[in-house]
Amino acid sequence: MTLPGSILPLKLIDLTYAVDGQKLVQNLTLEFTQGPKTLILGPNGAGKSLTLRMAHGLLKPTSGQVQWQQRHPQRHQAMVFQRPVMLRRSAAANIDYALGLKGLGKAEAAELRNEVLAKTGLSGIATRPARVLSIGEQQRLAIARAWALRPQVLFLDEPTASLDPKATRAIEDLIETIHAAGTKIIMSTHDMGQAKRLADEIIFLNQGVLSERTAASDFFTSPHSAEGRAFLEGELLL
Ligand SMILES: Nc1ncnc2c1ncn2[C@@H]1O[C@H](COP(=O)(O)OP(=O)(O)OP(=O)(O)O)[C@@H](O)[C@H]1O
């Protein structure tokens, strides 16, 4: 489905990423449409981060194409990384900086920043230096900063990998809120429990290759691939 003005669907066409001749992502073809929360699941080293980085435009594929529906997708999509990257200034100023880069005036930026701080439960720590916040708060701030840009698509690369269960839950709730507000979620994780809690559909990667793409309701009861099955049964995929 294509909505007017939407940068979706996003098509990854026969993407390969190779280093020194070694294919770390191999002939990956996927289409992402508006709607479901898409979780890219797979063991460490499966190629999840590389795939997200190529889709986001941070990394150029060795071969293949990344195609968006619109010509200037960068303004309408954002990415959050495993480790939050904060500027040496207050939490609020971190968001203001991102909004300034997008060309927003001060007053408009302040209004949007206050709204997003409130929605993410961060208003109380807005004036603190971002780098003294706990890692969980920093990650919430990183997501708030990305959300303030009103992206149509939000890529999240293992956003809770360094967090404890309580902070993880706060981030998962936030992701649900952002999705409910209309942003397409494309997120990687190696955590099966998290995929169960969040996913509408699963893309299972193993060793840089797509094993299967399955509705989450089916994946956790009857995965289609041997790799997916082994992962669910807790076998180590080597
Ligand atoms: N620039 C690079 N040079 C060489 N190898 C790389 C490079 N970038 C990634 N790799 C390797 O490619 C493989 C896939 O990496 P990627 O980060 O995409 O995995 P992942 O599925 O996100 O894993 P994790 O869950 O550990 O983050 C890994 O084995 C990694 O070491």
ipTM: 0.95
Q: What domain range includes position 98?
A: 10-232
pTM listed for this prediction:
0.95
List of residues 6+ apart from 148 with CB closer than 8 A: 95, 98, 99, 112, 113, 116
Atom of ligand 1 nearest to the CA of 157: 22
- Residue with CA at minimum distance from ligand 1 atom 25: 44
Q: How many structural domains are present in the chain? A: 1
Could you tell me if 176 and 208 are in contact, meaning their C-beta atoms sit under 8 angstroms apart? no
Q: Whose CA is nearest to atom 5 of ligand 1?
A: 19
**Burial 157-193, CB ≥16 within 10 A → b, else e:** bbbbbebeeebbebbbebbeebbeeebbbbbbbbeee
Residue with CA closest to ligand 1 atom 19: 45
Q: Name the closest-CA residue to atom 13, ligand 1.
A: 45
Confidence band for 3, pLDDT divided at 50, 70 and 90: low
The letter for the amino acid at 226 is: A
**pLDDT tens for residues 44-76?**
999 999 999 999 999 999 999 999 999 889 999
Q: Which of 20, 40, 49 to mutate to test the pocket of ligand 1 (most atoms within 8 A of CB)?
A: 49
CA 55 / ligand 1 centre spacing (Å): 15
**Residue 1 forms part of a structural domain:** no
Measured by CA distance, the residue closest to atom 16 of ligand 1 is 47
In this structure, is residue 227 part of a structural domain?
yes
Q: Ligand 1 site: residues with CB under 6 angstroms? A: 19, 24, 42, 44-50, 158, 188, 190
Q: Which tens digit of pLDDT belongs to each residue from 145-195? A: 999 999 999 999 999 998 999 999 999 999 999 999 999 999 999 999 999
Nearest to 47 by CA among 195, 157, 208, 155: 208
Which of 12, 22, 24 maximizes ligand 1 atoms within 8 Å of its Cβ, making it the mutation to test the pocket? Answer: 24
The protein residue with its alpha carbon nearest to ligand 1, atom 12, reads: 24
For residue 115, what is the domain's CATH number?
A: 3.40.50.300
**Which of 147, 143, 148 shows the shortest CA–CA distance to 99?**
148
Residue 29 lies in a domain: yes
Residue 238 falls within a domain, yes or no?
A: no
Q: Note whether residue 158 is domain-resident.
A: yes
pLDDT confidence bin for 238, thresholds 50/70/90: low
